[in-house]
Amino acid sequence: MALVGQRLAWPLLVVLAAMLLSACGSPSSEAAERAEELLARMTLEEKIGQMTLIERTAVVGCDEAEWVAACDLEKIAEFGVGALLSGGGSGPSQNDVAGWRSMVEEFQDAALSSRLGIPLLYGVDAVHGHNNVKGTVIFPHNIGLGAAGDADLVERIGRATAVEVAATGIRWTYAPVLAVVQDVRWGRTYESFGEDPDLVSDLGAALVRGLQAGDTTDDTYVLATPKHFVGDGGTTWGTGGRGYPIDQGVTEISEDELRAVHLSPYPASLAAGARTVMATYSSWDNGKVHGDRYLLTDVLRGELDFAGLVVSDWAGVDQVVPGDLEASVAQSVNAGIDLVMVPHDLVGFQTALRDVVLQGLVPEERIDEAVLRILTVKYEIGLFDRPLPGVGLAEQVGGDEHRALGAEAAAKSVVLLETGPGLLPLPKSERLLVGGRAADDIGIQSGGWTIGWQGRPGDITDGTTIVEALEAELGDGVEYEPSGSFETPAKTGLVVLGEGPYAEGLGDSATLPLPNNELQVLERMREHVDRLVVVLLVGRPVVLDAVADLADVIVVAWLPGTEGQGVVDVLTGARDVTGVLPVTWPASPDVAPRFEKEACEDALYPVGYGLGFDGVPLEEVGPCGSP
């Protein structure tokens, strides 16, 4: 849908969303009644405890926390902590399903020992599979799923992810990202499904449906969290927060554009039943969205009729009035934040919230409203009846069915940018020279948010690399040398080039380069082969000047996850190539922002572009890339 059309359709979207939410997004009457009964028995301190979301290391790791008083599990009950999370890379020393489940059980037991026995909500960033746990299936990042454009596929991925998350005793994930990326220099580009609001809307809602399939009390029902509300994909270069160039920056656009582009994906995910929404770090007209009552209350709750809970991002409340925790807490809670991701300074946060309530800066009615939402969600998903769900699911984690789904997703994500007659599929009866360290590296293949927050190269979890899949398919004809140095030439060469893992603002890039050492591999390979195929493992468009000069075929596989077999299935012709670009590939980083583009020459490849094996575009695209 064109931008103008989206603006005209917005009032209708609001009406339709409200109608759907009245049926799909409202709390059950039984859950709400039980929550109200419990709320009536709570002290102010217990209510504040329920609004507290802390990182697990704030409980068990004194050396990683800013406060020393709560370094044992008993403090969970003492402070009435309502929710815990594992940040990126934060998990038990035994990083497998059993280790995670045992850890969550210990935390739940501690919470249940409190006066009222209220169970914890435990959250995790399972953003492309249960990506914190070794041995799980890591699915393609969202940018690849946007290239696939298959809502049914995304829903099935959500279902598989929910099973693997629930197996570890967790019922809450901070996904999907509904950012509509407008500047691919952003380090979170790969977390977005693309630049088209309709695509983001369709795939985001599909992931919510998959994660939350079935009855809310089912063992494999995992709470989805559409994020980051709202505008995080449209921030302006040079306005970033925490020293980043663009991440956590300012969305400098009109309200019409904010609604048409960045708000429009939310109604579908809320209608799909999302019960939690996460606020964005970024700022808009009224400053930090974490403190913006108009967006969090008037729009999200008033216009979209969202009845669930709003959670802050990691220390996002602290940024509202920098240096003044009480003022930050008061403004954020009054704006509509219900559950605060502290994440470490538990005592400081609870003291600040209690003080501003006692001073009359935050009405206790607002506290009751927030806690009622939190308790209602806990009752809805059956935590009070079964605090540790997911019994008997461990055998499905990393199983053949989920890995086959990962391979299917990786294959459907592949986009063919350049080719010629007879260049693909790869011949099966000839020698194939393979270069590039990314060809045999699960860490590079999976990208950021894999085992650790930033991810890292290496053999970090189970899976199949591209080289391993090629060797299984083509046998002894595959010769692999990461450096690209071969003594004997061959007709066909394949180079896999990767950006290297990164996440969030640390991935912001003004130049969008491929590493120089990777390009040197390409140069060496060119000298040894007649036909050179380049596969890109990237989280966004990158500068292709050197690649275009040397390659005969250019394939972008994005960040396909642990199942490299899917990429090889396309290269060898076992599966057709079906993916198209979910974002505009800029001609240079200087013209990267999508919303600044007025000339078609700014696009090297337009959104919607992708070739078949015959070199013919798979879809008809308009003059500037709009299908």
Catalytic member of 313, 441, 468, 518: 313
Residue located via tokens 């709390």: 27
Burial 201-211 (b: 16+ CB within 10 A, else e): bbbbbbbbbbb
Which of the 8 DSSP states describes residue 279? B
SS (H, E, C) 287-354: EEHHHCHHHHHHHHHHHCCCCCEEECCCCCHHHCCCCCHHHHHHHHHHHCCCEEECCCCHHHHHHHHH
Burial 435-447 (b: 16+ CB within 10 A, else e): bbbbbbbbbbbbb
- Do residues 502 and 446 make contact, with C-beta atoms less than 8 angstroms apart? no
Q: Which among 297, 151, 290, 294 is positioned nearest to 232, based on CA atoms?
A: 290
| DSSP notation for 158-217 | HHHHHHHHHHTT--EE---B--B---TTSTTGGGS-BS-HHHHHHHHHHHHHHHT-S-TT
- Do residues 495 and 533 make contact, with C-beta atoms less than 8 angstroms apart? yes
- Do residues 337 and 356 make contact, with C-beta atoms less than 8 angstroms apart? no
**Catalytic residue flag (residue 66):** no
User: How large is the greatest C-alpha to C-alpha distance in the chain, in angstroms?
Assistant: 79
Q: Which among 130, 57, 129 is positioned nearest to 93, based on CA atoms?
A: 57
d(CA 273, CA 216): 10
> 11: which 2 tokens?
């009032």
d(CA 209, CA 271): 10
**Cβ-Cβ contacts under 8 Å for 119 (sequence gap 6 or more):** 108, 111, 112, 378, 383, 384, 387
> 176: which 2 tokens?
């999907």
Catalytic member of 125, 504, 518, 602: 504
d(CA 565, CA 574): 10
Beta bridge partners of 341: 53
Any idea how long the chain is?
627
- Do residues 135 and 461 make contact, with C-beta atoms less than 8 angstroms apart? yes
CA distances from 256 to 6, 260, 261, 421 (A): 10, 6, 9, 46
d(CA 159, CA 161): 5
State the distance between the two ends of the chain, measured CA to CA, in whole angstroms: 9
- Do residues 431 and 529 make contact, with C-beta atoms less than 8 angstroms apart? no
**Catalytic residue flag (residue 504):** yes
d(CA 613, CA 577): 7
137: left (phi over 0), alpha (psi -120 to 50) or beta: beta
Catalytic residues: 313, 504
